[in-house]
Amino acid sequence: MKRTTARLADGREIIYFDSADDAVRDLDDPRDLPETATASEIRYDPLLDEWVAIASHRQTRTHLPPAAECPLCPSTTERQTEIPSPDYDVVVFENRFPSFAGNVADVPGTVDPGEDLFPRRPGIGRCEVVCFTSDHETTFSQLTPERVRLIVEAWTDRTSELTTLANVEQVFCFENKGEEIGVTLHHPHGQIYAYPFVTPRTRRMLDVAHRHRERTGRNLFADVLAAERAARTRIVAETVHWTAFVPAASRWPIEVHLYPHRHVPDLPALTDDERDDFARLYLDVLRRMDGLYGMPMPYIAAWQQAPVRIDRDLAYLHLQLFSIRRAPGKLKYLAGSESGMGSFINDVIPEEAARRLRDAG
Query: How many CB atoms are closer than 10 A to CB 213?
Result: 15
358, with CB counted inside 10 A (0-12, 13-18, 19+), is: middle
Per-residue pLDDT, 35: 80
Amino acid identity, residue 230?
Answer: A
What is the reported pLDDT for 338? 95
CA pair distance 191, 65, nearest whole angstrom: 18
Q: What is the pLDDT along the chain (361 residues), one digit of tens a residue?
A: 999 999 999 999 999 999 999 999 999 999 999 887 788 999 999 999 999 999 988 887 888 899 999 999 999 999 999 999 999 999 999 999 999 999 898 999 999 999 999 999 999 999 999 999 999 999 999 999 999 999 999 999 999 999 999 999 999 999 999 999 989 999 999 999 999 999 999 999 999 999 999 999 999 999 999 999 999 999 999 999 999 999 999 999 999 999 999 999 999 999 999 999 999 999 999 999 999 999 999 999 999 999 999 999 999 999 999 999 999 999 999 999 999 999 999 999 999 999 999 999 8
Catalytic residues: 189
Largest Cα–Cα distance in the chain? 64
Q: Among residues 181, 187, 158, 198, which one has the least CA distance to residue 301?
A: 181
Q: How far apart are CA 287 and CA 361, in angstroms?
A: 7
Phi, psi (degrees; rounded to nearest 5) at 97? -125, 70
- DSSP SS3 for 44: strand
Q: 234 by DSSP, 3-state: which? A: coil
Mark 127-143 as b/e (b = at least 16 C-beta within 10 Å).
bbbbbbbbeeeebbbbb
> DSSP H helical segments within the chain, as ranges?
145-162, 200-216, 220-231, 272-292, 341, 350-359
- The whole-angstrom separation of Cα 133 and Cα 15 is 14
**Residue 257 to residue 268: CA distance in whole angstroms:** 19
- What pLDDT does 228 receive? 98
Q: At what angle do helices 350-359 and 272-292 cross, to 10 degrees?
A: 100
Which residues are bridge partners to 259 per DSSP? 243
Provide the pLDDT for residue 60.
Answer: 77
pLDDT of residue 32: 94
Position 56 scores a pLDDT of 84
What pLDDT is stored for residue 359 in this prediction? 97
pLDDT for res 38: 81
What is residue 63's predicted lDDT score, i.e. its pLDDT?
A: 84
At residue 6, the pLDDT reads 98
Q: Is the CB of residue 2 less than 8 Å from the CB of residue 21?
A: yes
Strands 299-304 and 242-245: unpaired
Task: Catalogue all structural domains in the chain, each as residue range(s) with its CATH number.
Answer: 2-197 (3.30.428.10), 201-359 (3.30.428.10)
State the pTM of this model.
0.97
pLDDT computed for residue 161 by the predictor: 98
* Chain-centroid distance, C-alpha 322: 12
Contact 11, 35 (CB under 8 A): yes
319-349 pLDDT, tens digit each: 999 999 999 999 999 999 999 999 999 999 9
Distance CA 332, CA 353 (A): 14
User: How remote is the C-alpha of 40 from its chain's centroid?
Assistant: 20
**Interior CA angle at 312 toward 310 and 251, to 5°?**
100
Residue 195, classed as helix, strand or coil, is strand
